[in-house]
Amino acid sequence: MEQLKGKEIATTGSVMVVGAGISGMQAALDLAQSGYRVYLLDRRPSIAGTMPMLDKTFPTNDCSMCILSPKVVDIGSHLNIEVITLAEVVGLEGVPGNFTATVKKHPRYVDMDLCVSCGRCETACEQVVRNNFNQGLDTRKAIYKPYPQAYPNAYVIDGESCLSCGSCVGKCPRKAINLEMQPENVQIAVGAVILSPGFEIFDASERGEYGYGIFKNVVTSLEFERLLSASGPFQGHLVRPGDHKEPKKIGFIQCVGSREPGRERNFCSGVCCMYATKEAIVAREHVPGLASTIFCIDVRAYGKGFEQYYERAMGEYEVRYVKCMVSSINEIPKTGNLLIRFRTDDGVLREEEFDMVVLSVGLSPPKEASALAGALGIELDEYGFCRPGESPGTTTRPGVFVAGTFAGPKDIPETVIDGSAAAGCAARILNDSRGTLSRSKPQVEEKDVSGENPRIGVFVCNCGINIGSVVDVPSVVKFAKGLRGVVFAEEFLFACAQDSIEKIKRRIKSQKLNRVVVASCTPRTHAPLFMNVLREAGINQYLYEHVNIREHSSWVHRNNPDRATVKARDLVRMSVAKVAKLSPIETTFTEINKNCLVVGGGASGMTAALSLAEQGFGVHLVEKEEKLGGLLAQLRYSMEGTEPSEILAGLTEKVTANPAITVHTGSEVSYAAGFPGNYRTTIKAGDSEEEIIHGAVILATGAAGAQTSEYLYGDSGKVVTQTEFEKKMAAGELKGIKNVVMIQCVGSRNADRPYCSRICCTHAVKNALKIKEQRPGVNVYILYRDVRVYGLNEKYYTEARRLGVGFFRYDTDKKPVVTQSHDGLVVEFDDHVTGFRLAVDADMLVLSTGVDPARDNEKLSQLFKVPLNAEGFLLEAHLKLRPVDFAADGLYLCGLAHSPKLLSESIVQANAAAMRAASLLSRDKMENVAITAFVQEEMCAGCAICVRVCSYNARYMDEFTGVAGVTEVLCQGCGACVAACPSGASQQKGYEKGQMMAMMREVL
């Protein structure tokens, strides 16, 4: 076998990512950044998956599109990512490291190289069809762009609806439409495959009793997202679809297509409780006074910041949660209102009227799952999700990895983590071919234009008719020709088209231009394109100004063409004045040290260290205890049946045997300095200190099992924590016991510790199943507030109930009472179903005490200048999209240091953190942000306000000169110091005061 030759055969340095949602995008970016070529496939005409459809995201209420767009732009502009839309994998031959994938490309009928998205075809098309992006709440044409920000930025014909009438073909000014396009199969050589095809939502019409599809004011949660969204069918005005009236009272029904063993959906979708909570909050922000009721079984607010968000929903937004079973929904014909009939715990059937009902639909495996499984030779689980291989992120076929919701329902941060982790798994097997297929920008020598008088070229775009039909483009060109410094001006039908780009490049050379202004559409998407033209023409790319005469002139002043033209001229005049004053900005680089420091030698730290070592980087693993293992050493069982002790032994052995890993046990970080790519850290072991130099840091410092003094803990030997119980079980110390009572949320979800510890419900169920397995006769009572056994683990909860484990809900105002009698413990509590008060003689009382943040977090946060959240866990750069990064490059986190999580989740996050670090370490040098702050030293009075306002630690005081400075490597160019500087000494490159004043003078 070829594989046996090991390192001698070269692998293929490319990876195919199937499914370009948020997890596929993350995997693609991480791999491309670390030297692999990536083929990013999606069966849809545009990338980004489901996230663009969401309005806002919990628990920060960030706009979904706003946080997503930058990643889409990164994908689109990355040289090493080839996006292949409307494509599916139909076959995979070969072995890990050397696969050949067969990809079927479906026809788009629009040539993406020619299409500039002007939209004339759409106007011409007469075929109106359901708009899937808006969940069918409105319509689109058969030729369409899924949504304005869609990438690739090109139209597509929906082959199923197109009548082939050809009316669009003639209207296209770029001759981009070709109705004759045929599907084609291509073969692509790749070293590994990552599957991230995402999910479908559950078809709500399967639950006939809810009347979805019959009653107009019953909508799915995804439809509701579109109703809330500013880019949705009603521009963010919340109305019900039936009569477009604003609803005042909304009912949310949870677990529609989730937690239904009878329907062969014995899993929890993991996200619905939170998105319903978010939708209720956002709805109330749209309609003041709107009342929302969420009908649910449990409220599963188990993630970081979720419990607090849920509390806020109940308090600040008056969202009502009703724990019950909903039996039916009926429409009141006259009003279109809906009558929800539900049975509460006490067995009483009630009815309540609502203006609108939202069905919180669950997540299903993607439609193409079985086809995909067949084509790739992987196995699916009983629901159709991807069956995991031996470790999280793997599939049953080596070299094929899985990420995101295809591996089971999960929320966005876990999906993003999955993406990075799967990328890491691929990179581990492709280490020898890193960089062999990646491409880099050709270097062009830059002409020195300093000392030259400005020779400005102005290029004005018609954007088809987008600009030209309103703004008098020829007059803008004529006007520009008369401005001081302008030596050339020209108009284009589409300035961004490839032939125009080449023309601009020729003009720069023939007219000896040294500065360029393009007046077209938004700089957000197009400025980088034109800046690259300058670069390729040998001019510093920052000698460029972009004018947006589409959004700012033709679109907003559509009804007033004359004034729109005047404004376009004014804008051009301003930019010409500014561009004349610009000076070149040098792009600088930082060398990157190839070693990584991993702090914390538990499961996460060891996993991260191994991943990095196998990817070819040196690792210093620092553990404060004398032995590696962390909290993993305290576990005896896992839910899936693997032995934690075996995992620990395996990890420890691999880590200690790996020559690239230097293990520092009994050690602590005592000092840290430096910046991304070049950190200097002092490690202290006893009295000896050692300085190590490294390029990145992963903080995997874990957490602590929380202690308690509640429920007679410490007073009675029969009261133990969940971990202690597990140890006793493993040691066979539970002989002769009959009754075990477990109390959940001991010390969690209260005023002192407002967060949910996430793992306790799963641990309780795991230990209940174990004791039932060991001693079937033992009675187990679990007293809970909400059962938060989320995702695919739901089946274990079902199994526990099937085995007779009793689950009893208690409220915080009526906690269980534990008393010690002469012959044992008595636990008293209410049965929430019968209403009876029960008393159990407990042979063992097990307390789920939850997780406390590690005590060292405070110190680490100061050493590495990274933030903590209010609860004392390390706080990542962004809760949704940057779950393992800190704000500054080079600093990453994983495991329990981030928040409470299960072992498997810690391992995935550790893989992700390692991959994020690798994407930095694999580069030889890092391009620094060019638009940074700088100091005019003679003006600086040394007041140090800049140092105080800088969020990136990029500003400092030079103690010798008393003048402030900028650490360019750290500066992100946010401009806060520039705004705060009272002396005008802090300035922003490319936005200097003199440059801005020149611009303003032209407009005033």
- Residues of this chain that interact with other proteins (CB under 8 A) are 56, 62-63, 65-66, 230, 235-236, 938-945, 948-949, 957, 962, 980, 982-985, 993-994, 997, 1001
Give min distance, CB of 471 to other proteins, in A.
20
Least distance from C-beta 945 to other proteins, angstroms?
A: 5
Which residues lie across from 621 on neighbouring strands? 598, 663
Q: Which is nearer to other proteins, 148 or 208 (CB)?
A: 148
Output 888 or 940, the one with its CB closest to other proteins: 940
Pick 234 or 810: Cβ nearer other proteins:
234
Cβ at position 665, least distance to other proteins in Å? 42
C-alpha distances in angstroms, 354 versus 226, 286, 303?
20, 17, 30
In the beta sheet, which residues pair with residue 104? 88, 185
Q: How far, in Å, CA of 908 to CA of 906, rounded?
A: 5
**Shortest separation between residue 941's beta carbon and other proteins, angstroms:** 5
Contact of 740 with 718, CB cutoff 8 Å: no
Residue number, 235 or 821, with CB nearest to other proteins: 235
Is the bond into 152 cis (omega within 30 degrees of 0)? yes
DSSP codes, 201-259 = E--GGGSGGG-BTTBTTEEEHHHHHHHHSTTSTTTT----TTT-PPPSEEEEEEEETSS
**Selection from 583, 581, 565, 520 nearest residue 546 by Cα:** 520
Q: How far is the CB of 944 from other proteins (least distance, A)?
A: 5
Is the CB of 374 or the CB of 982 nearer to other proteins? 982
- Minimum distance between the CB of residue 475 and other proteins, rounded to whole angstroms? 23
Question: Among residues 166 and 962, whose Cβ is nearest to other proteins?
Answer: 962
User: How many Å apart are CA 671 and CA 673, to the nearest integer?
Assistant: 7
- Minimum distance from residue 192 beta carbon to other proteins (Å): 36
With respect to other proteins, which residue has the nearer C-beta, 9 or 945? 945
Burial of 874 per CB tally in 10 Å (0-12, 13-18, 19+)? buried
Q: Tell me if 820 sits within 8 A of 715, measured CB to CB.
A: yes
Q: Are strands 688-694 and 678-685 parallel, antiparallel or unpaired?
A: antiparallel
E strand or H helix that includes residue 17: strand 14-18
Strands 218-220 and 249-256, bridge-based pairing: unpaired
Which of 57/292 has CB closer to other proteins?
57
Q: Which is nearer to other proteins, 546 or 552 (CB)?
A: 552
- The residue among 357, 42, 13, 383 whose CA lies nearest residue 190 is 13
Smallest distance, other proteins to C-beta of residue 895, A = 31
959 Cβ partners below 8 Å, 6+ apart?
A: none
H or E segment to which residue 311 belongs: helix 306-315
Residue 10 Cβ vs other proteins, minimum distance, rounded to whole Å? 46
Give me the least distance between CB of 548 and other proteins, in Å please.
Answer: 14
- Please, which residue, 183 or 962, has the CB nearer to other proteins? 962
- Residue 613 has a CB neighbour count (10 Å cut-off) of 22
Closer by beta carbon to other proteins, 96 or else 236: 236
Instruction: Output Rg (C-alpha) for the chain, integer angstroms.
Output: 31
Q: How far is the CB of 949 from other proteins (least distance, A)?
A: 5
Q: What is the bridge-based pairing of β-strands 14-18 and 192-195?
A: parallel
CB of 119 to other proteins, least distance (A): 19
- Between vectors from CA 918 to CA 912 and to CA 924, what angle results, nearest 5°? 160
Cis ω on the peptide bond leading into residue 261 (within 30° of 0)?
no
Instruction: Closer to other proteins by CB, 377 or 994: give it.
Output: 994
